[in-house]
């Protein structure tokens, strides 16, 4: 449906919540976009009936504005060259690795930076067009860090919030960035800057103090032009009701049982669900699983690993290399320990609908979440939400933001410590029902208490009060 109105609540994100993809016969269709940002914000947007400004995920002509699921979607077009330089380049080969502990080396190219600036300007102009007078504009994530300041120049009447879904690095890493001052000044255009963890808010304040003319005082930053910017932690969460509703659907209940049968009814099903990203520690997880099989601490009848690896950023070199490495590891594991009709690892390089994902979460005895660095990790929270039966165990990396809240009930692990990871996987597999229930209760207390609606309400209320 066409829509041309202005909105009092505008989300600006790199992606729209749906991607425009071409069907086999060439007709354009829409598919839910990948990643945690969309999972978290889609329910919030349905509640606020706002407008969502974003890129529709392909470089052909954007369809303009249209409505979907109670939100106005406003498309920002990117040319193929901009996708290569702004999205694949500066966003995902410069900022992404820099902000995730330089797990792979960030690349610094001036043409990428120019494209990033140009595209951020386009997003800012589009948001300025769509926002009503005095509207709230909520800018998302590392792809759009210049938008707050650009938007403030265009529309000083707006309340501007920014939320970073990924970690914000410490000075020793951030200082590498040739455009560090510009990024910090871009963010300081917001009235409120939200981070997943307290440490990230602290890193940002210290860096703004050091590299811009602003001065930081605890959670407030005073800018050179006399404004005050609040920086604060807002750990993002999930749509608990969506998951609990799905859990009780008869199709999901049936599918959960089928999944167990289809993988050969092992004693333990271990599950990983991640975008195929080098930050997620998939290789470390496979190595630990491999060594457990090699040492005969588990057998392929005891334990089967299902690894969903969602296709992601497939034209970026580091992601292509990662895919080769992971698929080599999976192939070796299955060659060594699998039998006809019974692989040790079920590797699924695909996107799934929500009911299938929830069925997988329900089927798994052990959810394995082992990122080397992760802003939050919503999959960990989704697993907890899905376990209304108070069963199952969560193995969680201490380097995921979720570890701050879920440390009590999860089996925390350092994924670099392969022996520790092996011990933890075994402990999670061998947990008895009473301990599982006790841990799951502790986990659910956190997740159910603070869902994504509360997260959004907290953020928006704080923004209004600034």
Residues that bind ligand F6P (CB under 6 A): 14-15, 34-38, 141, 165-166, 312-313, 375
Tokens of 364: 């798994």
Choose between 141 and 290: whose C-beta lies nearer to ligand F6P. Answer: 141
**Residue from 364, 368, 415, 372 nearest 391 by CA:** 364
SS3 172: helix
Cβ-based neighbours of 111, under 8 Å, separated by 6 or more? 85, 89
141 contact, one of ligand ADP, ligand F6P, none, CB 5-8 Å limit per kind: ligand F6P
Choose between 168 and 211: whose C-beta lies nearer to ligand F6P. Answer: 168
Is 432 one of the catalytic residues? Answer: no
CA angle 244, 248, 253 (to 5 degrees): 125
**Residues near ligand ADP (CB under 6 A), total:** 16
CB of 201 to ligand F6P, least distance (A): 17
If one asks whether residue 333 binds ligand ADP (CB under 6 A), the answer comes out as no
Tokens of 257: 């049982």
Tokens of 216: 């930081």
Could you tell me which residues are beta bridge partners of residue 22?
28
CB of 250 to ligand ADP, least distance (A): 21
Judged by CB under 6 A, which of 53, 379, 431, 436 binds ligand ADP? 379
Choose between 202 and 275: whose C-beta lies nearer to ligand ADP. Answer: 275
CA atoms within 13 A on the CB side of 462: 23
**Cα–Cα distance measured from residue 273 to residue 380, given in angstroms and rounded to the nearest whole number:** 9
308 contact, one of ligand F6P, ligand ADP, none, CB 5-8 Å limit per kind: ligand ADP
CB of 65 to ligand ADP, least distance (A): 26
- Which residue is catalytic, options 19, 141, 165, 346? 165
If one asks whether residue 66 binds ligand ADP (CB under 6 A), the answer comes out as no
CB of 156 to ligand ADP, least distance (A): 32
**Residue 164 DSSP symbol:** -
* Per-residue contact flags (x/-) with ligand ADP for residues 20 to 39, judged by CB under 6 A: ---------------xx--x
- Which residue is catalytic, options 141, 274, 277, 374? 374
Q: Nearest residue by C-beta to ligand ADP? A: 36
Judged by CB under 6 A, which of 51, 119, 200, 357 binds ligand ADP? 357
CB of 369 to ligand ADP, least distance (A): 8
**Residue 33 DSSP symbol:** P
Judged by CB under 6 A, which of 121, 176, 352, 462 binds ligand ADP? 352
Choose between 89 and 300: whose C-beta lies nearer to ligand F6P. Answer: 89
273 contact, one of ligand ADP, ligand F6P, none, CB 5-8 Å limit per kind: ligand ADP
SS3 93: helix
Cβ-based neighbours of 58, under 8 Å, separated by 6 or more? 19, 20, 21, 22
Is 165 one of the catalytic residues? Answer: yes
Torsion, Cα 325 87 19 62, to 10 degrees, reads -150
CB of 275 to ligand F6P, least distance (A): 6
What does the buried/exposed string (b/e) look like for 113-148 if buried means 16 or more CB atoms within 10 Å of the residue's CB?
bebbbebbebbbbbbbebbeeebbbbbbbbbbbbbb
Q: Pick out residues in 259-318 that bind ligand ADP (CB under 6 A).
A: 273, 275, 308, 310
**Cα–Cα distance measured from residue 159 to residue 9, given in angstroms and rounded to the nearest whole number:** 10
Choose between 230 and 362: whose C-beta lies nearer to ligand ADP. Answer: 362
CA angle 293, 298, 299 (to 5 degrees): 75
Positions that interact with ligand ADP (CB under 6 A): 35-36, 39, 273, 275, 308, 310, 350-352, 357, 376-379, 382
Which residues are catalytically annotated?
Answer: 165, 374
């Amino acid at each position: 449906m066409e829509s041309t109105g202005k909105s009092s609540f505008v989300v600006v994100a790199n992606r729209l919540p749906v991607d425009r993809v071409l069907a086999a016969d060439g007709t354009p269709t829409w598919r839910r976009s990948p990643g945690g940002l969309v999972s978290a914000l889609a329910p919030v947007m349905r509640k606020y009936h706002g407008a969502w400004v974003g890129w529709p995920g392909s470089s052909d002509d954007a369809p303009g504005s249209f409505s979907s699921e109670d939100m106005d979607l406003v498309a920002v077009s990117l040319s193929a060259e901009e996708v290569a330089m702004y999205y694949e380049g500066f966003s995902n080969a410069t900022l992404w690795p820099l902000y995730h502990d330089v797990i792979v080396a960030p690349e610094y190219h001036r043409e990428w930076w120019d494209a990033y600036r140009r595209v951020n300007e386009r997003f800012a102009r589009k948001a300025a067009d769509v926002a009503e007078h005095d509207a709230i504009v909520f800018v998302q994530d590392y792809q759009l860090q210049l938008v707050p300041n650009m938007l403030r120049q265009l529309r000083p009447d707006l309340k501007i919030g920014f939320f970073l879904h990924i970690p914000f690095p410490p000075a020793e890493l951030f200082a590498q960035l040739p455009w560090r001052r510009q990024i910090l000044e871009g963010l300081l255009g917001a009235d409120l800057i939200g981070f997943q963890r307290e440490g990230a808010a602290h890193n940002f304040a210290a860096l703004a103090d050091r590299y811009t003319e602003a001065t930081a005082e605890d959670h407030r930053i005073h800018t050179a032009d006399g404004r005050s910017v609040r920086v604060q932690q807002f750990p993002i969460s999930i749509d608990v009701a969506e998951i609990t509703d799905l859990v009780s659907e008869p199709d999901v209940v049936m599918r959960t049982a089928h999944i167990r049968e289809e993988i050969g009814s092992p004693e333990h099903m271990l599950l990983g669900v991640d975008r195929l990203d080098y930050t997620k520690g998939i290789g470390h997880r496979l190595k630990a699983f491999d060594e457990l099989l090699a040492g005969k601490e588990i057998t392929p009848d005891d334990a089967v690993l299902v690894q969903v690896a969602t296709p992601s950023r497939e034209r970026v070199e580091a992601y292509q290399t990662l895919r080769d490495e992971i698929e080599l590891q999976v192939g070796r594991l299955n060659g060594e320990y699998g039998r006809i009709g019974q692989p040790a690892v079920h590797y699924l390089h695909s996107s799934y609908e929500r009911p299938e994902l929830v069925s997988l979460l329900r089927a798994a005895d052990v959810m394995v979440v082992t990122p080397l660095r992760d802003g939050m990790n919503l999959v960990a929270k989704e697993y907890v939400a899905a376990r209304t039966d108070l069963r199952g165990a969560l193995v969680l990396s201490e380097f995921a933001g979720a570890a701050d809240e879920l440390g009590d009930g999860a089996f925390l692990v350092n994924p670099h410590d392969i022996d520790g990871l092996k011990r933890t996987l075994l402990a999670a597999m061998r947990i008895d029902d009473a301990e599982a229930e006790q841990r799951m209760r502790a986990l659910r207390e956190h997740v159910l208490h603070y869902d994504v609606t509360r997260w959004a309400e907290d953020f928006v209320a704080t923004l209004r009060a600034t």
